Structure 1
Amino acid sequence: MKKLLVFAFLLPAQLWAQSFSKEEVSRWQQQAQQVNIIEDDWGIPHVYGKTDADAVFGLMYVQCEQSFERVELNHLEMMGRLSEVYGKNRLYEDLRMRMIYDTAAAIADYKQSPAWFQKLLNAYADGINFYIYKHPEVKPKALQRFEPWMALLRTNGSISATETGGVTLRELQNMYPIDDKATSFVQEPPLYDKMQQGSNGFAVAPAKTRNKKAILYINPHTSFFYRTEAHMISDEGLNAYGGVTWGTFFIFQGFNENCGWMHTSGRADVADLYKETVEQKGDKLFTLYDGKQLPVTTKEITIRYKQGDALQEQRFTTYATNHGPVMGKRNGQWLSLREYNRSLNALLQSWQRTKTNGFEEFKKVMNLRANTSDNTVFADASGNIAYWHGNYVPKRDPKYDYSQPLDGTTSATDWKGIHALDETVHVYNPKTGWIQNTNSTPFTVSGASSPKKEDFPTYMAPDAQNARAINAARLLSAAQDVTIDKMIAIGYDHYLSAFEILLPPLFKDYDALTQADPQKSRLEVPIHFLRLWDKYSSTTSIATTLAIEWASIFETKIGSADAERIIKETTAADRLKALEDVITMLEKQYKTWQVAWGDINRYQRTNDGKFDDNLPSLPVGMASSAWGSLPAYNGRRVGTQKRYGVHGNSFIAAVEFGGKGKLKAKTILVSGESFDPNSKHYNDQADGYLTGKFKDIYYYKTDVQKHAMRQYQPGK
C-alpha cells in the first residue's frame, strides 16, 4: 500500500486534471457565462450571477484566484488531512478533526439537502474545480477534486468554530498513543494565541445617531489573513457584502441593504466531556450508564502523513460511547465528548441570514439554533438592534458544573434537548440605545438594559467581563449624534483600561521603597513616565512601551491577562523586578529604555510569515486587546528585536442602514485584497488600517461600475 501511496503522491497535478470529464467542463463553462465579476479600484470582487448558485460559483472561483492555497488548507484542516502537507507532527490535530467531523455524515446531509440548497453546494465545488481545470500550473497539495459535501464540514466561518469541551491534544495522545515514542506533535496553541483571540461587535439605535438610522460596527479579531472581502449579488435577491472565510461560500460577517450581522466568539457551553467507567468482558468493552453496561463502539481511522517525498500511513482504533467519541484520557480516565460542531442546519443558517430582510426574518433564521460558537450583534434598516449570546444551547440540569468533566454513568448529566431562542440570553432594542460585545459577559451588553445574570443558568453565559467591554460601554453610553466616522473612531479608541487596575499597585510598591533601595533611583524616571501617561497607546508613547512590556511578563507567567488576577497573584517585589527587567531588556536591545511604542510595534507584510528588522515596516499605535484596546493588534518577536503584527483587526466595517437605495458603509482590510506582492492591492489599505481611515464601499451597481477596474467571467 505504501508504494502505491508514494506513486500517487508524486503524480503531477496536470495528470489529475484529466479526471474532469468533458461533460463537467462543458457544464462549468456554461455556468461561468452566467457570472460577471467586477473588480473595483481597491481590488474588491463584486460577483454578479443570474442565480444564487451562479454567485456561489463565481465567489469560489475568485477565492481560488486570490489564494487557492488558503482555500485548500482550510478544507484539509476540516477533513483532518493536514499531515499530508505538514508531516507527522500534525497527526493528533488530524485525528481530533476526524473524530469530530464525520465525512460520512456530511455526505448524508448533502444527499438529504433541499434541491435548492444542493444547487449551491454543487456550485461551490464546481467553482473550485473549474479553477483547478483552468490553471494546470497550480498544483494542489492534496485535493485534486472538490466535492459538494465538503462544504458541510465547515458550516460556520468562525475562527473558533470547533468545540472540544476542553480536552487537549496531549490527552488525545494519552488515549491513542502510537508506537513511535519519538514522534512529536503540535502542542495546543500557545497561550499567547489563545488569549489574543476575540472580536468586537457594536450597534447603535437611531435615537443616538445623527441621521436617525441604526449603525452597526463589525470588528472581528483573527489571524490577519483569515478572511477576504467580497460582494455577492444575484437576480434571486442576494446582495450581501462582507468578510468571507477562505473556502466557504457565504458572507460570514457582513450586511445586505436591509440588515447586518456581526459574530463574536462566545463561551456559551455547547460541548461537554463525560468521565466514562469502562469495563472489558472478553474482547469487548462496555461503559456503565444508569446501572447498565452499554457497548463501546470502535472506528478505524487511517491518517496519511508526508514523510520526505512519500505518503505514509498511521492507523488508529478509536472508541465511542453513548455520549460521543472518546477524545482523551485524563488521570487514567476516559473522556468522551458530546458536541454539535457540524450540521446541515448550521450551513443553512450561515447562508439564509445573508438574504434576510430585517429583524423578524433574521430571528426566524436564528431559530434554526445551529450556530455553536458565536454571539450575534444585529442592526437593520427599520432601526432595530439586537443581541443573542450564543444560539445552540443544550438544556441541562443546572445543579451540575458543566465546566468540568461530568459523571458519565448517569443520565442525570445528559442534555435535555436545546433551549428555545428566546430562552437564551438576548436583548432586543434596549432602551439605552446601544449594544456592545467584546467576547465578554452579556450582562453588561447594553448598560442598564442588559439581561440579568440571575435569570439564566450559569452554563448559558460563563463569560467574564474584560477590559475592552469596559471601554466600549464607556464610549457607547456617552455617544450621541453618531455617524459612520464617529463609530469608526469609537472602534479605534486606543485607551488601555486594564492599566487603571495594573498601575496603581505598582506606584504604591514604588512609593514604599526606601531612598537607600537601588530600585528607587533605577525606576524613578520610568515610574514618572507611567504616572504622567494618559493610558492611550500611540506610536510616540514611551509609557506604552513600558506598560505593555511590563504587563506582558505577567501575562505569560500566570497565563492570564486579567488585570485583577495579575495583581492578586504577584507581589510588590515581583512587580518592581519586572519593571526593572523591562528597563534592562530595552537598554540591551535599543541602547536606551526610552523607546517609543511605534519603534517596537511594527507592521510588515510577508507572504512567508517571516519578519525581518532590516526590511521596511510601518509604526503601529494599536496594542493588544488584552489591555483594553478596542482595535486589536497583536505582535510577536520571532527572532527579531521588534514586534510584528500577526493577529487582531482584520476585515472591519461600519454600516448605516438608510433603507432602499440608501445603504452607506465603510470598510478596511488588513494590508489589501491581493496576495501578489507585485499588485497595487497588496498593501494599499495598510495606512488606513493602521490609522482608522476606512474606504467607502461600492454597494450599488452604478457605483461599482463607476469604479470598475476589471470585468471578466470565470475562466476568461
Structure 2
Amino acid sequence: MALVFRWLIRIAAGLIGLVVLAVLGVYYFASQSLPDYDATVEVRGLSAPVEIVRDNANVPHIFGAGDADVYFGLGYAHAEDRLWQMTMLRRTAQGRLSEVFGARTLNVDSLMRRLDIYRLAMRSVEALDPETRAALEAYSAGVNARLNEINENALGRGAPEMFLFNAPVAPWQPGDSVALVKLMALQLSGHLQNEVLRARVSLMLPDPKRIADILPDAPGTGIAALPEYAQLFPGLPRYAENSAPPGMLWPVPPRGLAGASNAWAAAPNRSASGGTLLASDPHMGFTAPSVWYLARLELATGGVIGGTIPGIPVVLSGRSARLGWGITSSYLDDQDLFVEKLNPNNPEQYLTPQGYKDFISRPSIIEIKDATPVTLTLRWTENGPVLPGSQFDLEAVTPPGHVMALAWTALSPNDTSLAAAMKVMRATTVQEAIAAAEGYIAPSQNLMLADATGIAMKTIGAVPRRDPRHQSQGRMPSQGWRAENRWMGRMPYASNPEFVNPRGGILGNTNNKILERPFPNHISFTWGDTQRINRWQRLMQSRQVHTRDSLIEAQLDPVSPTARTLLPLVGADLWFTGQAAPDGTPERQRQIALALLADWNGEMNEHLPEPLIYAAWMRALQDRLIRDELGPLAGEFKHLEPIFIERVFKNVDGAGVWCDVIQSAPVESCTEMARLALDDALVWIGERYGTALESLRWGDAHQATHDHPVLGDVPLLKTFVNIRQSTSGGDNTLLRGRTSGEDPDPFFNVHGAGYRGVYDFTDPDSSVFIISTGQSGHFLSRHYDDMAQLWRRGEYIPMSLDVNLARAAAVGITHLVPRP
C-alpha cells in the first residue's frame, strides 16, 4: 500500500511539474513579443532618426526631422502595441478571416466580399492628394519596419495570439489604412437595419399610428405618411422569423449599437477663464484592447495629440496648440436598400428605368481553414452590391423574384475621407478645419471645433441627393427600377448643417436631432438620441460660465432624464397603494421596490439598487406591451424605447391600445400592465441577483465588458484577456453605457466612450484625456489595462504637448535610426 501511495505521489508531482513547465513555456514564448520601449533600432525607410518618447501612461510622443518620419514612427508604435488588432481589422476588411478561424467567420467574409470594401479602398488611394499618399506610405513603412524586426529577431511573432492562430502577416500598404476607415463606416452605420425593421413592422401593423408609436420620429415637425410596405411589394408574408445570429467577429453592430458620441464646446463668453473649451467622447463597442490608441505627433505644422485608431495615421479626436476637434455620429441617412426585380427569363439581369440590364458579376474564392474553399458570385447593380437574404433579415422583406441591393456613400472608389481628416488635423482655425473637411465622405460625423476665439459644429460626409418623389423617402427598401427612387449624386458640402459662434456661446451634440428640414433636404429621420440632450441642456444652462471641470462633470453625469420622466408616468397609480403585505410575498416585494424608486433621483449609480429595479421594470413592461402585436419581431426591440412608453401611457393618438392583450378576453389597463411588469422584473431580479432589494448593485448588472474579440470566450484564457468592471450610467445618461439587451446579461455595458478628452484653450497643456483599457494589446503587458480603473472612476491623464513633461518619468525612449 505504501508503494502505491509513493507512486501516486510521484505521478502527481510529475504532472504538476509538467503543468508548471507548460505554463512557463507558454509565458516565455508569449513574453518574447513584449516590446522593449527603451531601445535603439536600425530600420529601413527613414530619412533621419526618429525618437518615440513614451510617457508614464505609455502614450508615445513622436519626433522626427519631417512629417514622413513622424508618420513612420506612428506606424512603428501602432505595430509594437496593437499588431494583432491591426491585422484582424485588415483581415475583416479584406474578407479573409476564415483563413485563420475557419467556417466560424464565413458570414463575415461573405459580407465583406460582397461590399467589396477592400478593393474600393485600394482604388481610392489613387484619388488621394500626394501629401496624403506620402504620409500613408511612410506610415506603412513604419509598420513594416516593426514586422521586419519581429521576423529578424524572433520576437514571438509579434503578439501572443499569433501562436494560437498562426497565419502569415503581409506587409502593410496605404490602401489598408483607407480600408479601415471604410470598415469604421460600416461599424458606425445603422440605417440598413432600420430600413429592414421599419418594413417588417409595417407588415405586422396595419395602422400607421401604431408604427409611429413603436418607431417614433424624434420630437419635432412630423412627416407625410409613408406607403405601407405590403402595398409596395404585395405577397410578402406578414410573419417572418428572425435570421440566425451572424456569428463570430461580425463587424456590423446590432440595431441600437451603431455610432454614438457626445461633444460640446463653450465660447470665451461662456468660459470662466475667457478661453474656449471643448469636450469629446466618441462611443463605440467595447473591446480589449480598446479600439482607441493615444498618441502625440510633432508635425511641421506643430504638435497634435489625441485619439488614433491603430492602422489609421490620423488623430481623429484631439487638439493642437491652436485647435481642438471632436466627433459625434451625425446619423446622416447615407444608406438605402433597393429591391431589384429579376428578369423572369434571365436571372442574370435586373430591371432598370431603361429596361433589363446584366449584373456586374465576378467570382470570389474564400479560403477556409480546414475546409473546402467557397466560391461566391459577387453581383452589383447600378444602385450597389447585392446582399444575400440570409443577412440582416433581408429575406423577410424581399419578394420572390427579387434581390436586395445596398446604396451607401462609403462604397465610393474615390474616397478622400482620410485626406480630409489629415487636413483637419493640420488646420489651425475653425474655418480652416471646416474647409478642410469638404472631401470627407464616410462615416458621416458632426465635427465639433474650437480655436482660440471661436467654436463651431459642421456635419461632414457625403449627403445623397434624393428625388422629392422617392416612394419611401429612404426609410424602407424601395423599388430599384423606378427612377424617382434612385440617388442623383450628392448634395453640395455647403448645404451640410453648420453652426459657427452661436450667440448663446454653447454648442453640443448627443446624436440628437440638430435641425428640421423637409425631405429631401433632410439629414435623417432616425436620430441616435432623444433623451441625453435634455440633461445636457440643463447642465449647460445651469451655469453662466463653464470650466474644464464642469465639462468633465457633464461627460461623467449618470442621471437618467428618461427615468425621471417615465417612472412618475408608469407608476402613477401604483405608488403607496394597497394594504401592508407580509414579508416574502410578491406584494411586499412590489411595495419595497416602489418605495425605493419613489425616493430615487434617477442617478444610475453603480452602487445603488434603484437603477437595476427601474431597468428591469421598463424592460419587462415594453416586452409585455409589444409581444402580442409583434410576435417574434418583439425580440428586435432589445432596448427601452422611451418615446414609445411615453406615448402609450399618455395615450397619444390612441397609443394606450398597446396595453390591451389581444389574445385575452378582458381589456387590460396600462396600470395593470405596469403592475404585472414590475412583478415580472422582481421575479427575474430575485432569480438572478437575490430577493434583498436594498442590497442590489446596478454595477453588478452593468459591467463594462471589454472582452477580447477572439479569446474572450475561451475558458481560463478569458480570465487574462477580458477586462470587466462595475460601471455607472446607462442607455440614456450622458455617461452613456449602452446595454447589450441580450440574455442572460441584458444590462451588460457593451458600448460607450472608449475615449474621453477635454481641451482648455486658455491653458492648452491643462487638457486631459483617457481611454478605457490601456495602450498595449499584449495581455502580459502592464499597459494592457492600466487606464481601465482610471476610466471607470472618471479620472483622466494629462494631455500635454510639453516634451519635458513627457520625458519626465517616461517608461522608455525608442530611437529609430536609418539602417546603413
**TM-score (normalizing by structure 1):** 0.84
In structure 1, the residue matched to 2:229 is none
In structure 1, the residue matched to 2:761 is 657
Supply the distance in 1 between the matched residues of 2:495 and 2:690 (Cα, whole angstroms): 56
State the Cα distance separating 1:636 from its structure 2 match: 6.1
3-state secondary structure, aligned to 1:85: helix
1:333-390 Cα distance to aligned partner (Å, 9 max, x none): 21222222154311111221111111121111122242343222221122x2112234
8 Å contact kept, 1:273–1:337: yes
8 Å contact kept, 1:393–1:460: no
- Residue 205 (structure 2) pairs with residue 205 (structure 1): no
In structure 2, the residue matched to 1:274 is 338
Supply the distance in 2 between the matched residues of 1:273 and 1:127 (Cα, whole angstroms): 40
Supply the distance in 1 between the matched residues of 2:616 and 2:190 (Cα, whole angstroms): 32
Cα distance 1:684–1:234, how it changes in 2: closer, same or farther (>3 A)? closer
Supply the distance in 1 between the matched residues of 2:495 and 2:78 (Cα, whole angstroms): 38
8 Å contact kept, 1:165–1:337: no
Supply the distance in 1 between the matched residues of 2:324 and 2:246 (Cα, whole angstroms): 41
Between 1 and 2, higher relative CO (CA 8 Å, sep ≥ 6) is seen in 2
In structure 1, the residue matched to 2:234 is none
In structure 1, the residue matched to 2:683 is 584
In structure 1, the residue matched to 2:653 is none
1:1-21 Cα distance to aligned partner (Å, 9 max, x none): xxxxxxxxxxxxx9xxxxxxx
- From 310, 316, 323, the equivalent of 2:383 is 323
8 Å contact kept, 2:108–2:251: no
Identity %: 19
- Residue 47 (structure 2) pairs with residue 35 (structure 1): no
- From 417, 431, 445, the equivalent of 2:503 is 431
8 Å contact kept, 1:61–1:714: no
Over the residues paired in the alignment, what is the CA RMSD in angstroms?
3.6
Cα distance 1:490–1:98, how it changes in 2: closer, same or farther (>3 A)? same
8 Å contact kept, 1:110–1:148: yes
Cα distance 1:142–1:562, how it changes in 2: closer, same or farther (>3 A)? farther
In structure 1, the residue matched to 2:169 is 143
**1:313-712 superposed matches below 5 A:** 313-329=373-389, 330-332=398-400, 333-341=402-410, 342=412, 343-382=414-453, 384-400=454-470, 401-443=473-515, 452-453=516-517, 457-460=521-524, 462-463=526-527, 465-511=529-575, 515=579, 520-554=587-621, 558-567=637-646, 568=648, 569=658, 571-588=670-687, 589-594=689-694, 595-602=696-703, 608-609=711-712, 620-624=726-730, 626=731, 628-634=732-738, 645-658=749-762, 662-712=764-814
State the Cα distance separating 1:687 from its structure 2 match: 3.5
In structure 1, the residue matched to 2:17 is none
Supply the distance in 2 between the matched residues of 1:586 and 1:215 (Cα, whole angstroms): 43
State the Cα distance separating 1:213 from its structure 2 match: 1.2
Amino acid at match of 2:613: L
- Residue 247 (structure 2) pairs with residue 186 (structure 1): yes
- From 125, 128, 141, the equivalent of 1:110 is 125
Supply the distance in 2 between the matched residues of 1:668 and 1:278 (Cα, whole angstroms): 52
Cα distance 1:692–1:642, how it changes in 2: closer, same or farther (>3 A)? same
Cα distance 1:170–1:392, how it changes in 2: closer, same or farther (>3 A)? closer
Supply the distance in 2 between the matched residues of 1:48 and 1:686 (Cα, whole angstroms): 28
In structure 2, the residue matched to 1:11 is none
3-state secondary structure, aligned to 2:774: coil
- Residue 152 (structure 2) pairs with residue 49 (structure 1): no
8 Å contact kept, 1:165–1:273: no
- Residue 387 (structure 2) pairs with residue 286 (structure 1): no
- Residue 104 (structure 2) pairs with residue 89 (structure 1): yes
Supply the distance in 2 between the matched residues of 1:474 and 1:81 (Cα, whole angstroms): 48
Supply the distance in 2 between the matched residues of 1:186 and 1:573 (Cα, whole angstroms): 39
3-state secondary structure, aligned to 2:348: strand
Cα distance 1:304–1:168, how it changes in 2: closer, same or farther (>3 A)? farther
8 Å contact kept, 1:100–1:325: yes
8 Å contact kept, 1:195–1:561: no
- Residue 362 (structure 2) pairs with residue 299 (structure 1): yes
3-state secondary structure, aligned to 1:324: coil
State the Cα distance separating 1:638 from its structure 2 match: 9.2
Uncovered stretches (5+) of structure 1, i.e. residues with no partner: 1-13, 15-25, 172-181, 444-451
In structure 2, the residue matched to 1:218 is 280
Amino acid at match of 1:255: R
Amino acid at match of 1:360: Q
- From 257, 262, 282, the equivalent of 2:321 is 257
Cα distance 1:399–1:206, how it changes in 2: closer, same or farther (>3 A)? farther
Cα distance 1:344–1:715, how it changes in 2: closer, same or farther (>3 A)? farther
In structure 1, the residue matched to 2:206 is none
3-state secondary structure, aligned to 1:629: coil
Cα distance 1:642–1:292, how it changes in 2: closer, same or farther (>3 A)? closer
8 Å contact kept, 2:305–2:318: yes
State the Cα distance separating 1:580 from its structure 2 match: 2.0
Supply the distance in 2 between the matched residues of 1:621 and 1:350 (Cα, whole angstroms): 32
Supply the distance in 2 between the matched residues of 1:583 and 1:102 (Cα, whole angstroms): 47
Amino acid at match of 2:683: T
Supply the distance in 2 between the matched residues of 1:269 and 1:491 (Cα, whole angstroms): 27
Supply the distance in 1 between the matched residues of 2:259 and 2:190 (Cα, whole angstroms): 17
Cα distance 1:488–1:109, how it changes in 2: closer, same or farther (>3 A)? same
3-state secondary structure, aligned to 1:252: strand
Uncovered stretches (5+) of structure 2, i.e. residues with no partner: 1-28, 30-40, 198-242, 390-397, 624-634, 649-657, 660-669
3-state secondary structure, aligned to 2:537: helix
Cα distance 1:207–1:334, how it changes in 2: closer, same or farther (>3 A)? same
Cα distance 1:587–1:519, how it changes in 2: closer, same or farther (>3 A)? closer
3-state secondary structure, aligned to 2:757: strand
- From 52, 55, 58, the equivalent of 2:73 is 58
Cα distance 1:402–1:503, how it changes in 2: closer, same or farther (>3 A)? same
Cα distance 1:479–1:77, how it changes in 2: closer, same or farther (>3 A)? farther
Supply the distance in 2 between the matched residues of 1:649 and 1:526 (Cα, whole angstroms): 31
Amino acid at match of 2:458: W
The count of aligned residue pairs is 665
Supply the distance in 2 between the matched residues of 1:43 and 1:298 (Cα, whole angstroms): 48
State the Cα distance separating 1:244 from its structure 2 match: 1.3
1:634-660 Cα distance to aligned partner (Å, 9 max, x none): 46699988976443221100001238x
3-state secondary structure, aligned to 1:89: helix
In structure 2, the residue matched to 1:245 is 309
Supply the distance in 2 between the matched residues of 1:165 and 1:635 (Cα, whole angstroms): 20
State the Cα distance separating 1:619 from its structure 2 match: 6.5
Supply the distance in 2 between the matched residues of 1:65 and 1:706 (Cα, whole angstroms): 22
State the Cα distance separating 1:39 from its structure 2 match: 0.4
1:285-305 Cα distance to aligned partner (Å, 9 max, x none): 333322433222212121122
